[in-house]
A and B are shown apart, each in its own frame.
Chain A
Amino acid sequence: MSDLPPPRHPSVEGEPVPPDARPYSEADDPTQVVIPTSPRNEAIVAGLLALAGLLGVAFVVVYVLVDSTPLFGLTLGGALLALGAAAIVAGKGVVPQETVLEPRASVAHPEDEAATTALIRSAGSGVSRGRLLKLTAAIASAGMGAASLATLASFGPWIGSRSVPSPWRRGARLVDEYGRPVRADALEVGSFVTAFPKGADIDLLGSPVIVVRIDPSEVDLPPARRGWAVDGILAYSKICTHAGCAVAMMRYPLFPAHSAEPALVCPCHYSTFEVATGGTVIFGPAGRPLPQLPIRIAADGTLEAAGPLSGDVGPAWFGVNRA
Chain B
Amino acid sequence: MRLGPRRFAALTAAGWALGALALLLVAPGTGLGQGETASVPSAAAQIARGRTLFVTGCSSCHGYAARGIHGVAPSLRGVGALAADFYLSTGRMPLDSPAVEPTRKRPAYTPQQIAALDAYIGSFGGPPIPHVSLRGSSLARGGSLFMDSCSGCHQAAGAGGIVPGAFAPALSQATPRQIVEAARIGPYLMPRFGPRLLTDAQLASISRYVEYVRGSHNPGGWGIGHLGPVPEGMIAWFVAVPFVLLVARLIGERAEA
Contacts and interface: CB of A to CB of B under 8 A. Distances in A.
The answer to whether A and B interact is yes
A259 B71 contact: no
B152 A259 contact: no
B192 A190 contact: yes
Interface residues of B, number: 37
Given A189-B192, A191-B191, A260-B189, A251 B152 contact: no
Contacts of A183: 196
A236 to B, nearest CB: 14
Contacts of A265: 163-164
A252 B191 contact: yes
B165 interface: yes
A170 interface: no
Interface in B181-220: 185-194, 196-197, 219-220
Interface in B142-196: 148, 151-153, 161-166, 168, 185-194, 196
Contacts of A185: 196
Contact of B148 (A177, A249, A258, A263): A177
Contact of B197 (A177, A191, A253, A272): A191
Interface residues of A, number: 39
A252 B221 contact: no
A63 interface: no
B186 A254 contact: yes
Interface in A255-276: 255, 257-260, 263, 265, 267, 270, 272
Contacts of B221: 69-70, 73
Contacts of A255: 73-74
A218 B164 CA distance: 20
Interface string B218-257: 0111000000000000000000000000010011000000
Given A251-B166, A251-B191, A265-B164, A91 B251 contact: yes
Given A251-B190, A254-B187, A258-B99, 19 more contacts: A177-B148, A187-B194, A187-B197, A188-B194, A191-B191, A191-B193, A193-B197, A248-B153, A249-B163, A250-B191, A251-B163, A251-B165, A254-B188, A259-B165, A265-B163, A265-B164, A270-B162, A272-B164, A283-B164
Interface of A: 69-70, 73, 84, 88, 91-92, 177, 183, 185-194, 246, 248-255, 257-260, 263, 265, 267, 270, 272, 283-284
27 contacts: A69-B219, A69-B221, A73-B221, A190-B186, A191-B192, A191-B193, A192-B191, A249-B163, A249-B168, A250-B152, A251-B189, A252-B190, A253-B189, A254-B185, A254-B187, A254-B188, A254-B190, A255-B74, A257-B71, A259-B165, A259-B166, A259-B188, A260-B166, A260-B189, A267-B153, A267-B161, A272-B164
